[in-house]
Chains A and B, each alone.
Chain A
Amino acid sequence: MTRRVWVSLSLAALLVVAMAVAGCGASAPTNSTTTSATSTLVTTTAAGTKPVPSVTWALYRDVNTLDPDFAFDDPENTAVTLMCESLLRQAPDGSVGPGLATLAIPTPTTYVFTLRPGVKFWDGNPVTPADVVFSITRQMDPKVGGFYQAMFTRVQLVQATGANQVTITLKQPDYWLEGELSSIPGIVLERSFVEKEGKNYGAPGGSIMGTGAFMLKSWNTANGVVAIPNPHYWDASVKTPLVQQIVLRGFAGTASLSSGLLTGSIQGSYPTDLATLLQLQQSGAVKVYQGRCGSTDALVICSFKGALGDVRVRQALSLALDRQAVIDSVYHGAAQLPRWLANPGTFGYGQSVFSAAYDSSPAMKQDVAKAKQLIQQAGAAGTTITIGMSSGMPRSVGDAAAYQAAGEAIGLNVKFRAVSPANFINFFIDPKFREGVDAFPTTNYGDYADPAALLKTVVLPDGSQNFSGFSDPKTTSLLDQARSTADPDQRASLVAKAEEAVAQQLPWIPTVQPNIVLVLGKGLTGAVPTFSYMFAPWANQLGGR
């Protein structure tokens, strides 16, 4: 009898210990201070110096396509930018320079691209003007159905105008095109290869042909995308990559990702779910970098029919929001208080103009008293707003809860319309689905480092994400002028004015400005720690330290 008791007790003790141990792992210590984000933002990591046989790089899900026309989300962008290159190139700080070609703009409606000497694909074939024309035309072709067609609306004609020259003729001046062509839409494909592969181009059953320092070795949906150094890389000034093989694979769940990183099964990642960030930061097994990001966490006001149609109510909701709580609990410190809708990480040109204007704009801090006043003036106390969210998406839960607290603090009733993660997309694409919903949270970004890249989709009357019918003639005209303005500083100053206006009008309410988080195994260094990994090569300097 005593033995039986002893056995039961020791088993119980064992279970308690196991649970306590597991519990420690799951919840990272909370006493650590959240480091000030701005002071630690980086734009580079030291280049690698030693060869590394193989790196497993984690994505939040597996790659679905390697065709740039359909690369629109983190996993596809990461894979495509690792291996393929655009006409122009976005640097880690967001500035745009020559890529496969240099750009001259002799008249406001003429873009002349001159291919750089020696540019060639992995198979050794030179990049020709015909390939460039083919690639851009393919992006524009409605029959192909690519996701970037809308970026080329001002393009009239794309034609080869010399042995190494391509000219784009525009209907109207469009200085935004430069940014787009430094990003995914500017990637150059080999015409003969794409035509040979047909429907299989970029699918697991087919292959791709690019120009980058890494080339595709294999892609099997079970084992991920495997890239190896391209021994014949055209740019002699770039050293051959030190990493002999990069395997890109999706790992579902933050728990898998962090245990993989902590045990060395995964050596690098740009994680999107930051639930285990503190645990990673405190581990000796990995190094965590935070860099400039281009995305904005915001509340999309999708309907002006309800209380949020009144700008004073939007301002009040924004003033009542405890953004610091969102930064602490949702981002674990990896975000900043916003001043504009644009993340300052998007200042890719006119940087001094943007920075000066940004710094002189007020940070969006909590002021509940003022918010209550505005609600009173608007006579909105007691009205109900409905926020769309998904309990399966941690960030949407955190944001929605913060807005609920804010709304209730100032006398609004806040209801949730909860949907499944798979259905969340419908808030963006289906007007019927949005019916009865006033707002929903999003993390959103443009295709290149320009505050206007996101702004234009939100505030222009025909913007792809302007769901509320927001229209402000002043903002529209500022953005139109910016699009046609050649001088970067002047363009920046116009866009800055638009941002300042939008920060008052709040067609979307900026929640926080996230940082990019880069996690590298402790033996590694050299990956690009900024948002430009979404648009340009990020692993050329990756290697052992």
Chain B
Amino acid sequence: MVPWRFLLRRLVMLCGSVVVASFLVFAAVDVAPGTPLAVLSGGRSISPASLRILEARYHLNEPFFTQYWYWVNNALHGDLGISITLRENVSTLIAQRIWTTAGLVLYASILVVVIGVAIGLIAGLRRGALDTGMVVVTAGAAALPSFVAAIVLIFVFAVRLRWFPALGNGVGLLSNVWHFTLPAIALAVSSMAIVSRVTRAAVREEMGREHVQTAVSRGIPTGQLIRRHVLRNAAIPITTVSGITVASLIAVAAVVEVAFGLNGLGALMVQSAESKDLAVVQGIALLLVLAFVIVNTLVDLLYAMLDPRVSVGAKA
């Protein structure tokens, strides 16, 4: 059964988020200091005549709400506007870079979900040194911000050991994977640690439950026990925390892209925010909001699949 009402409500929420976000981003960029003209001139002085021509060309001298209205009107017609500094359509700029960001976030998400859950599972099932070590390591890793991880990874694995490249995207799938490995690890490391800790705790809790103990005493094979009795029930908290952390990767990707010289959306947004290139910031921010809401919706749908007691859209 398709949960139409739930999807409809989510769609309304999505539209609301987009409208609010677009206004906030527009206002924030407008209030932020600086002028896009600084980038055009590289910080040298330009003649007043040139300045006036450029201001008129990009509507920079018009009031805030007029500028916002231009943008909304165009966006409703599917035109996200033109980058001031690059004189290129924002949609083209996004199209050129979306796969870098999508690939990076996907790679990091796979690391978070697969490795994070695996570590948590092992630690949860086996007590002892391995478990203790994982608790300690993940405690440190969970507190490691991506930009620090990036610096350490580049220095150790790119500059010193030369196992991975320090910068760039690479050409072709294999080369892409090779180039994206360090960035994906840098992006994933703290989320991976959090997911593994939650998994460990959830597995521990399920292992102590009566029905699991009963199953053990009845001699059900370990593999089946873990799959059907432990993981199935531990899946709800694991899915929740994975969903939240994966969604957060979308936002943090910008930091990693800049550190590794990847030409993704985040790096472009940072660059555009610095040069006050409003249309670009706006376009990318809205895309990220969209991705965030969609990921969260998917997680909600997963709940219902995992636990029949949860009906989609019920007020929890």
A residues near B, CB below 8 A?
A: 3-4, 7-8, 11, 15, 18, 21-22, 25, 56, 61-62, 64-65, 70, 72-76, 142-143, 145-147, 149-150, 199-200, 203-205, 220-223, 249-253, 255-256, 259-260, 262-263, 265-266, 419-426, 428-429, 444, 457, 464-465
A423 near B167: Cβ-Cβ < 8 Å: no
22 contacts between A and B (CB under 8 A): A3-B129, A7-B132, A11-B137, A18-B152, A25-B159, A61-B271, A64-B40, A76-B42, A143-B53, A145-B50, A146-B50, A147-B50, A149-B47, A205-B89, A205-B92, A222-B263, A250-B271, A253-B258, A255-B259, A256-B261, A259-B158, A420-B33
Contact partner of B43 (CB less than 8 A), chosen from A150, A199, A255, A425, is: A425
What residues of chain B lie closer than 8 Å to A256, measured between beta carbons?
A: 166-167, 258-261
Supposing A62-B271, A73-B43, A425-B35 touch, asked if A252 and B258 sit within 8 A by C-beta, the answer is: yes
What residues of chain B lie closer than 8 Å to A73, measured between beta carbons?
A: 41-44
B129 near A7: Cβ-Cβ < 8 Å: yes
Contact partner of A428 (CB less than 8 A), chosen from B45, B100, B132, is: B45
What residues of chain A lie closer than 8 Å to B159, measured between beta carbons?
A: 25, 259, 262-263
Max count, chain A CB within 10 A of own CB: residue among B33, B48, B267 = B33
Contact partner of B33 (CB less than 8 A), chosen from A250, A259, A422, is: A422
What residues of chain B lie closer than 8 Å to A249, measured between beta carbons?
A: 261
| Of B67-75, B80-88, B232-240, B290-298, the one with at least 4 CB within 8 A of chain A | B80-88
A204 near B166: Cβ-Cβ < 8 Å: no
What residues of chain A lie closer than 8 Å to B47, measured between beta carbons?
A: 147, 149-150, 464
Asked if B300 is at the interface (CB within 8 A of a chain A CB), the reply is: no
Max count, chain B CB within 10 A of own CB: residue among A61, A221, A444, A465 = A221
What residues of chain A lie closer than 8 Å to B53, measured between beta carbons?
A: 142-143, 145
What residues of chain B lie closer than 8 Å to A61, measured between beta carbons?
A: 271
What residues of chain A lie closer than 8 Å to B40, measured between beta carbons?
A: 64-65, 70, 72
Asked if B275 is at the interface (CB within 8 A of a chain A CB), the reply is: yes
What 0/1 readout, one digit per residue, does chain B (205-235) give for beta carbons within 8 Å of chain A?
0000000000000000000000000000000
Supposing A11-B136, A25-B159, A425-B43 touch, asked if A149 and B129 sit within 8 A by C-beta, the answer is: no
**Nearest chain A CB to B2's CB is how many angstroms away?**
38
Supposing A149-B50, A220-B96, A423-B34 touch, asked if A64 and B41 sit within 8 A by C-beta, the answer is: no
What 0/1 readout, one digit per residue, does chain B (150-164) give for beta carbons within 8 Å of chain A?
011011101110100
A265 near B34: Cβ-Cβ < 8 Å: no
What residues of chain A lie closer than 8 Å to B136, measured between beta carbons?
A: 7-8, 11
Assembled-state Cα–Cα distance A204/B156 (Å):
36
What residues of chain B lie closer than 8 Å to A146, measured between beta carbons?
A: 50
Contact partner of A464 (CB less than 8 A), chosen from B45, B93, B133, is: B45
What residues of chain B lie closer than 8 Å to A253, measured between beta carbons?
A: 258-259
Extra inter-chain contacts (14) besides given A64-B85, A263-B158, A465-B45, CB under 8 Å: A3-B132, A11-B133, A147-B50, A150-B47, A204-B92, A223-B169, A251-B261, A260-B261, A265-B261, A266-B167, A421-B274, A426-B34, A429-B46, A444-B44
What residues of chain A lie closer than 8 Å to B274, measured between beta carbons?
A: 421-422
What residues of chain A lie closer than 8 Å to B85, measured between beta carbons?
A: 64
What residues of chain B lie closer than 8 Å to A18, measured between beta carbons?
A: 152, 156
What residues of chain B lie closer than 8 Å to A221, measured between beta carbons?
A: 86, 88, 93, 96, 268
For window 1-48 of B, CB contacts with A under 8 Å fall at 32-35, 37-48
What residues of chain A lie closer than 8 Å to B38, measured between beta carbons?
A: 422-426
A22 near B41: Cβ-Cβ < 8 Å: no
Assembled-state Cα–Cα distance A168/B129 (Å):
85
Assembled-state Cα–Cα distance A429/B38 (Å):
9
Max count, chain B CB within 10 A of own CB: residue among A222, A420, A424, A429 = A222
Contact partner of B140 (CB less than 8 A), chosen from A15, A72, A203, A426, is: A15
The 4 closest A-B pairs by CB, nearest first: A73-B42, A422-B34, A425-B38, A145-B53
